[in-house]
Amino acid sequence: MTEQANRIDWLERQLAQVDEFIERDSEALARSPGKYSLQVALNSWKSHQDELHQELRQAKASLQLEVVQLRLIGMRMDGSIPLKLLSKLSDSFNRALSYAAYHLRHGSNPKKGIPESLAREMDLRLSDLAFGSTRLIFAGNVAPDMTGESIMEGALEQIFDVLKAPTHDRIRELVAVIGVPATKALSDMLGVLEASKIGAELSWPAPNSKVYHWGGTLDAVRITHDRLSAHQDIKPEPTTLFGVVADLKENGTIYVRSGNSKQKVSYNRQQFPEIQKLSLGMPISIKVMKYVRYVALEDREIITYKMITED
């Protein structure tokens, strides 16, 4: 592990701890509004949080590029990759990451394809064909944006979560995070590999020193491709919730109260700057994506809401 990776890992652990303290003190202040000592402590933690975000942004910016490796495995891989297969895999992987990144930031899918500004920000490219020409090396920009988040890093984390999801239900939950188009692009990539009877292994050494890994066999491709079929009947609908902000959580949840009912709305950490504009008791009309899932064994529908933010 490099010194810079150690630094990033330490900063992220410190930031996670500070986030917990902020949530704890925010809840305490809500129970005892106006208590001076709690307000002072909360302000101090938030100031420290800003400092850590700044340090983390600078540390990640110095790394510049993510490197992701896709290794192809199988009897048909004789030391080279057919150009048609290379084109299909590269296109699917690019679409999966780009759509996931957009959905993380906005909670919805782009209406006219991936914006050019996001494509430039991610700067995803096929960097190299490694030894034997059966290893595809992808590189992309890891530098954080003004909020301290690297959209490339966030998208890659979610892609691995989807690929490693153990059940159809878990995949349904993750589709609400990265969106149907990103999930479909992943499914398309696995479909190409399965049809060609080629196994695959995807790996990524993240800036915080964690190594992400998926696959390694043709069976892994087949099993994951089957699980990703769950995305086909997911058809979220945009809607608007009206009410007042009943609760705010830094862990990705806000609650909107309307009369006697209270709706839970989830958001991604990439949308947190919009959450910072809200306050408890504030009247709100919030755009959301509505996901409906029918549970046959219980004969009921489960409705979840994901926040939408504008371009």
| 112-166: pLDDT as tens digits | 889 999 999 998 888 766 545 577 888 888 777 766 778 998 999 999 999 999 8
171 three-state secondary structure: helix
Does residue 294 have a pLDDT over 60? yes
Question: Do residues 29 and 167 lie in contact, with contact meaning Cβ atoms separated by under 8 Å?
Answer: no
Measured distance CA(182)–CA(108) in Å, rounded:
11
Q: Which residues contact 232 (CB under 8 A, 6 or more apart)?
A: none
**Residue 295: CB atoms within 10 Å:** 10
Q: Report the pLDDT averaged over residues 95-99.
A: 96
Q: Say what the pLDDT of residue 4 is.
A: 62
d(CA 271, CA 120): 20
With cut-offs at 50, 70 and 90, classify the pLDDT of residue 285.
very high
**185 token code pair:** 């692009």
| The pLDDT of residue 218 | 92
Q: Which residues pair with 287 in a beta bridge?
A: 240
List the end-to-end C-alpha distance of the chain, in Å, as a whole number.
37
Residue 229 confidence (pLDDT) above 50: yes
Residue pair 172/85 in contact (Cβ under 8 Å)? The answer is no
Averaged pLDDT of the chain: 86
- Between residues 213 and 55, which one has the greater pLDDT? 213
What is the tens place of the pLDDT at every residue in 62-76?
555 667 889 888 756
Q: How far is CA 29 from the centre of its chain?
A: 31
Give the lowest-confidence range in 104-108, 128-132, 297-301. Answer: 128-132
Which residue in 192, 182, 180, 242 sits closest to 72, CA to CA? 192
Tally Cβ neighbours within 10 Å of residue 300: 9
**Distance of alpha carbon 106 from alpha carbon 267, whole angstroms:** 9
Cβ contact 236:181 at 8 Å: no
- Token digits for 140? 């992309």
Q: DSSP letter for 78, please.
A: S
Whether the pLDDT of residue 243 is over 50: the answer is yes
Confidence of residue 309 (pLDDT cuts 50, 70, 90): very high
Q: Where are the alpha helices (DSSP H) in the chain?
A: 3-31, 36-61, 83-106, 116-122, 151-163, 168-178, 180-195, 218-227, 272-275
Q: Write down the pLDDT at residue 1.
A: 46
Tell me, what's the pLDDT at 7? 75
Please give the Cα distance from 57 to 171 (Å, whole number): 30
Mean pLDDT for the stretch of residues 84-111: 93
Instruction: Read off the pLDDT of each residue in 24-46 and give the average, rounded to a whole number.
Output: 88
Of the pLDDT bands very low, low, confident and very high (cuts 50, 70, 90), residue 106 is very high
Average confidence (pLDDT) over 253-268: 94
The amino acid sitting at 66 is E
When pLDDT is averaged across residues 214-220 and rounded to a whole number, the result is 93
